[in-house]
Amino acid sequence: MHMKRRHMSTQAFDAVTIFKCLAQLEAQFLGENREWEPQNDEQERLFTLYQQMKDYLAQIRGLKAKGSKFYTELNDFLVEEGFSPMFQPFNPEDSVGVATVLDKMVEWFVEAELVNITAQNGREYPGFEIPKQGVSIYTTNYGTLAELYTKSEDTLWLLLPTANQPDLLGFNLFETAVKVMSEEGSINHHFSGIQIPKVDLDVTPDLNFLLRARTFDTNDVPWRVTQAFQRFKFRMNEKGARAKVTTGIAVTMEAFFAKPDPLILDRPFLGWFTQKGLELLPMAVFWADYDSWKEPSGSLENL
């Protein structure tokens, strides 16, 4: 019996390109091994995983980064990598940015056959079937997990979640995948292979939760995240699958980012004059309530 799932739109989230942005900011501009101060729960969880996983970044194939003080150079890099310009203008005197790109493409180890898949929503979708020689299927606490064999050292994993899974949004997607990969699943021999719908997605994950995160450079100057964005493209068919993700982060020196606001006299106030040498003798004391807030009817000279 299948429990009815609440409808969710397509989501995506990549943490690796975020981690690479942080590492590149440290290596190129801020100094190695910076401590990032979280401003919310999601930042705290992400920075904890970053510290645990950042040493793996150098081993990742298909991951590149570009840092610059000039947002135009970063946007040119994005265009060269097949993305649209996404950095907003920033001042090179007080800000720097990094763009990262992850490109993963795999070809199925065993040839797939085209099929049509009738989904639980009653509609039919184009798909493909990989025989059991090209997949391992596991039973986990999170659902049924498929390991798709490829002709390279990269693997694609697909999880058909249990019906009572919570909504998978944003950073929760990455955390769930980490938990699934950390669990010992049991091999399931009850399937003859796997049928998979073809997929074509292009989404812009929301990275606003990263804004205002703070760190200090080697001179103890504070910097805050002022821009953070991601674009996630993915295609999957009977030949294989490809994911291409870009993330951009800009940081600004806090002295420039947190410019003080003016004091605004937005309620009635007290005022008086003093004369040099007679500061303890207030003169012409007044209380300016709202009834006196108006454009003066004449100049100071003709009062």
**Cα angle, residue 93 at apex, residues 82 and 228 outer, rounded to 5°:** 40
CATH: 1.10.3470, 3.30.70, 3.30.1490, 2.30.39. Which one for 113-197? 2.30.39
Residues 192-239 pLDDT 10s:
999 999 999 999 999 999 999 999 999 999 999 999 999 999 999 999
The pLDDT, as a whole number, for residue 1 is: 33
d(CA 281, CA 18): 61
Q: Is residue 73 over pLDDT 50?
A: yes
Q: Is residue 4 over pLDDT 80?
A: no
The pLDDT, as a whole number, for residue 166 is: 60
Query: Domain residues of the chain, as ranges?
Result: 16-105+199-256, 113-197
Q: Please state the rounded mean pLDDT for residues 101-115.
A: 94
**Cα angle, residue 274 at apex, residues 273 and 276 outer, rounded to 5°:** 145
Q: Is residue 5 over pLDDT 50?
A: no
Structure tokens at 153: 């050292």
